[in-house]
Every structure is written in structure tokens, then in C-alpha cells.
Amino acid sequence: MHPATAKWYDRRDTVFVDFCVEDSKDVQVRFDTAKVTFSCVSGADKIKHQNTVELFGEIDPKESKHKRTDRSVLCCLRKAEAGKAWPRLTKDKTKNNWLSVDFINWKDWEDDSDEDLSSFDKFSEMMNSMGGDDLPDLDGPEEERDSADSDDEKMPDLE
């Protein structure tokens, strides 16, 4: 059995762990109050992966979930004590070579009074609120686009 490579990040109410296993089959995730157990089989070689993570803090096993995609298995661990930051995922301070911080999704939320929407959510919300007819005309009025500017001369042909 090989441990699956994983990345993790912390939020106010949840901790996310992404087990990076492509083409996973027979995925099993077990949530306990202080531990997460992950196992699966991956690829054409049917490599068996298993990870047991003794967690830094406690979670609510009934509210924790996982979702499998073709590239990974994302686990959403609901913290038992919301608002408490986790400086690391594991109970022990030892370095695990299969585990790293997901700096792309990491956010220092402790300094925020309220957790804002993620950048992606803000972007999606902005795009949904924009209608097709409301888009600004970035080229200016049609009359101006049709008139030739003084610096718009014909380019010479390439040889």
C-alpha cells in the first residue's frame, strides 16, 4: 500500500483535504472524530493507496463529506469547533512526505471579521449578474468604429 499524495487548506468552519489520485476506484473514506482514513485503487496498474490521518483538531463525522473526481478525491471536514485555526492538518508535528499545504486555496481568515466569498465565487457572482445586453461597448459608438483614423494606414504586404 502506498500513501496517496494530498494537499490541504484551512477555512473558518471546515478543513479541505484533496487526495490527488487519478482514475480512482473503490474509494473508501471514513470520518472519525479525530481521524480520517482514505483508501482506493488507481490506474491501470491498480495501485492501492491508503492514508490514515490523525487530525490536529476534532471534526464532526456526520457533517463531513467527500467527492470523487477523475483526478482526485476532495474531503470536506467539518470542524467540531468552528473559528479555530488549524496550523497543521496532523496531530503530530512530524513531516509527511505525501502531505503539503494547498497554497492556491489557502487564506488567512483569522484576521477577517467575516469570511468573504472566495475569489472564484465573487467572479462567478459578478458574471451571473451581468446580462448579455448590459455589456459595455468597449469599441465606442459604431460610427466611430467605421471612420478611419489618421494613423490607420494600409499596412504593406509581407514578402
Reported as a single tens digit per residue, the pLDDT across 119-151 is 445 445 555 555 444 444 445 555 554 555 556
pTM over 0.75: no
Triad 65, 71, 72: Cα angle to 5°: 30
Residue 85 has pLDDT above 70, yes or no: yes
74-108 exposure pattern, b = at least 16 Cβ within 10 A, e = fewer: bbbbbbeeeeeebebbeeeeeeeeebeeeeebeee
The Cα–Cα gap between 113 and 106 comes to 17
Q: What is the rounded average pLDDT of the residues 41-56?
A: 92
Contacting residues for 34 by C-beta, under 8 A, at least 6 apart: 54, 55, 58, 59, 91
Residue 8 has pLDDT above 60, yes or no: yes
Residue 75 in contact with residue 29, Cβ under 8 Å? yes
Residue 106 in contact with residue 7, Cβ under 8 Å? no
Q: For the chain, which domains are there? A: 6-84 (2.60.40.790)
Lowest average pLDDT, out of 4-18, 25-39, 142-156, goes to 142-156
Give the residue, 99 or 113, on which the prediction is more confident: 99
The Cα–Cα gap between 93 and 86 comes to 12
Half-sphere exposure of residue 77, counting CA atoms within 13 Å on the CB side?
Answer: 30
